[in-house]
Amino acid sequence: MTTTERLLNLLSLLQTRRDWPGSLLASRLNISDRTVRRDIGRLRELGYTIQSTMGPEGGYRLRAGNVLPPIFFDDDQAVAVAIALSVATSVGAGIEDAAIRALDTIRQVMPLPLRHRLDALEITTVSSPGSAAPVTASLDVLVTLAQTIRDRQTLCFDYPTRYGADDGEQRAMRRVEPHHLVTSHSRWYLVAWDLDRKDWRLFRVDRVHPRIPFGTRFLPRTVPGGDIKEFVSARLKGSDVNEWACRGIVRLHLPASEVLPFAGDGKVTPADLHTCTLELGSWSWGSLAANFGKFGVAMEVVGPPELALAFEVLAERYAQSSKAFPQRSAVDT
């Protein structure tokens, strides 16, 4: 091997495990112990922090340094990183441009067969029907929150209390013990224990304005139920458990095949060739009735009574809205 090939192979080995005995490196590369020591010195001159380890044989350990030196991936690792960068543009973390540049950098140096593998993957991220529009959170804020979570430091930040038509956004200071960062439907959330309200809260990261310096350290609590995913899913549904607070069933005058693409997490059961039942959940009976109404066809409420009442209230409200709208004549149209 040339010196360059030998250095690249040596670096690749050092990245695959924590400690390498010098004699084992020499055996794997088919070189002498003296050449290993000389090549380790060359890598150190290139910016790699390689620590010598003590022991009967002595060895080496690749550690983090002051700068980011070149990193080498095997084929599967390179494709995995490229795929992750491809979908990073949809996570709403303000890293879209950096992800695109990094993907271009990796793609340029890929061997041709590996590049063909990557180019065959055309990845398109599509939001689910009815999901919230993507909102970008500041990368600096995300890193700040992650730091306080890691170091278990209390955090003060300004957070909107309401949005006024005249006076704009109004904020109040919140004091929390930050616990987790969560992303859902292209939005970032901070899960934290609110020290003033003495309860768990979910904060939109794009609305968080951290105050520095950070506060004192704290002992971490356990989220209700112990599962962060279940807890956040429940809170996003307006419930204390991962179930919708309100659930109901209607019979739609549509074939099941036409309802399924728009049912979301609902349950569709064919009744006959032309009708089906649909079970949905929501945080209120009014919003649940409105969700069923989006299909725009005749339907009958199967249950419960609260859903039927919500339909009556909604129908009356819609009727009043139409009466308030000025009638237009054929000449006007």
Q: Does some domain include residue 307?
A: yes
For the segment 209-213, the average pLDDT, to the nearest whole number, is 90
Q: Does some domain include residue 265?
A: yes
Residues 160 and 194 in one domain: yes
Q: What order do you get walking across the sheet with 299-303 strand by strand?
A: 267-270, 276-282, 246-252, 299-303
Q: Is 309 helix (H, G, I), strand (E, B) or coil?
A: helix
Give the phi and the psi of residue 301 in degrees, each rounded to 5. Answer: -75, 125
The residue whose two tokens read 């989220």 is: 223
Which tokens go with 40? 């380790």
Q: Does some domain include residue 195?
A: yes
Count other C-beta atoms under 10 Å from residue 66's C-beta: 7
Residues of the domain holding 85 = 75-119
Residue 265 pLDDT > 60? yes
Nearest in space to 131 (alpha carbons), one of 79, 204, 184: 184
Residue 210 pLDDT > 80? yes
For every residue of 237-293, DSSP letters joined together read: TTSSSSS-SEEEEEEESS-HHHHGGG-TT-EEEE-SSS-EEEEEEESSHHHHHHHHH
* Percentage of residues in the chain having pLDDT higher than 70: 83
The residue whose two tokens read 């879209």 is: 96
Per-residue pLDDT of 293-325, as tens digits, reads 888 889 999 989 999 999 999 888 888 887 766
Q: Does some domain include residue 132?
A: no
What is the pTM for the complete model shown? Answer: 0.56
Per-residue pLDDT of 221-238, as tens digits, reads 998 888 888 888 878 776
Give the C-alpha distances (Å, rounded to integers) separating 280 from 219, 224, 236, 266: 40, 25, 16, 5
Q: Does some domain include residue 331?
A: no
CA distance 1 to 39: 13
Per-residue pLDDT of 131-175, as tens digits, reads 555 667 787 888 888 889 989 999 999 998 865 444 556 888 999
Band of the pLDDT at 197, cuts 50, 70, 90?
Answer: very high
Res 12: pLDDT:
80
Band of the pLDDT at 331, cuts 50, 70, 90?
Answer: very low
Which tokens go with 318? 């819609």
Band of the pLDDT at 80, cuts 50, 70, 90?
Answer: confident
Q: Does some domain include residue 154?
A: yes
Residues 187 and 159 in one domain: yes
Band of the pLDDT at 260, cuts 50, 70, 90?
Answer: confident
Find the CATH number of the domain harbouring 28.
1.10.10.10
Res 133: pLDDT:
57
The H or E element containing residue 317 is helix 305-324
HEC states along 149-202?
A: HHHCECEEEEEEEEEECCCEEEEEEEEEEEEEEEEECCEEEEEEEECCCCEEEE
Band of the pLDDT at 193, cuts 50, 70, 90?
Answer: very high
Find the CATH number of the domain harbouring 281.
3.30.70.250
Residues 185 and 99 in one domain: no
Band of the pLDDT at 263, cuts 50, 70, 90?
Answer: confident
For the segment 62-88, the average pLDDT, to the nearest whole number, is 74
CA distance 152 to 131: 32
